[in-house]
């Protein structure tokens, strides 16, 4: 598995809720390439030094992760599939999430992973899942992303997305 180098870090206007490390209320997700998959390991409380980022702020019901946050985790990892695997930019056209098992805000670590299931012209179909620290499948998602052509992606500031050289184990 190799860590993905975030190509947006050099952009001054970059403040993505899902992946910008400087967004004070964001999820601060990081991504890794593992074969066909893009993977993120996420702990709802890992950066809770800020009271805004405490896991309790991500709940829908008491100690239960809000479905919108879980959907965001899925959407974000799917977006990084587009960035790394398809080497372009895009945007979500459709997102379907199946909530199979409640995710607690006390969960020590979630694994969010996704891969392309098919591509039809400028649409990518991406399957994703969220697995809790016990290895249980909690959520499944399918996103359809509109893929920008290389010229439009370049206009948006995307040139390419690389990985670090070092293999790591999470």
Beta-bridge mates of residue 145: 92, 124
Instruction: For residue 37, name the pLDDT band (cuts at 50, 70, 90).
Output: very high
Instruction: Report pLDDT for 24.
Output: 86
Above 90 in pLDDT, residue 157?
no
The pair of three-digit structure tokens given for residue 6, joined into one six-digit string: 């975030």
Q: Which residues of 48-60 are buried (b: 16+ CB within 10 A; e: fewer)?
A: eeeeebebeebbe
End-to-end CA distance of the chain: 8
Instruction: Give percent of the chain above pLDDT 70.
Output: 95
- The pTM of the full predicted model, rounded to 2 decimals, is 0.94
Alpha-helical (H) ranges within the chain are 67-85, 150-155
Could you give the CA distance from residue 62 to residue 145 in angstroms, rounded to a whole number?
A: 33
Instruction: Report pLDDT for 47.
Output: 56
Instruction: For residue 138, name the pLDDT band (cuts at 50, 70, 90).
Output: very high
Instruction: Report pLDDT for 139.
Output: 98
Instruction: Report pLDDT for 122.
Output: 97
The pair of three-digit structure tokens given for residue 72, joined into one six-digit string: 């965001």
Give the distance between the most distant pair of CA atoms in the chain: 47
- Digit-coded pLDDT (tens) for 40-74: 999 877 655 565 667 778 889 998 999 999 999 99
Instruction: Look at phi and psi of residue 8 and say left if phi exceeds 0, alpha if psi is from -120 to 50, else beta.
Output: alpha
């Amino acid at each position: 598995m190799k860590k993905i180098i975030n190509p947006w870090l050099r952009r001054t206007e970059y403040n993505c809720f899902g992946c910008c490390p400087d967004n004070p209320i964001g999820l601060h997700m990081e991504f890794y390439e593992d074969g066909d998959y893009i993977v993120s390991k996420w702990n709802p409380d890992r950066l809770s030094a800020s009271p805004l980022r405490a896991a309790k702020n991500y709940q829908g019901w008491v100690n239960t992760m809000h479905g919108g946050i879980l959907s965001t985790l899925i959407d974000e990892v799917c977006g990084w599939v587009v960035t790394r695997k398809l080497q372009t930019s895009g945007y979500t056209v459709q997102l379907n999430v199946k909530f199979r098992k409640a995710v607690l805000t006390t969960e020590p670590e979630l694994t969010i992973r996704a891969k392309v299931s098919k591509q039809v012209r400028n649409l990518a179909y991406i399957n994703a899942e969220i697995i809790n620290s016990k290895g249980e499948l909690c959520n499944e998602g399918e996103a359809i992303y509109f893929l920008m052509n290389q010229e439009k992606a370049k206009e948006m500031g995307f040139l390419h997305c690389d990985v670090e050289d070092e293999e790591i184990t999470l």
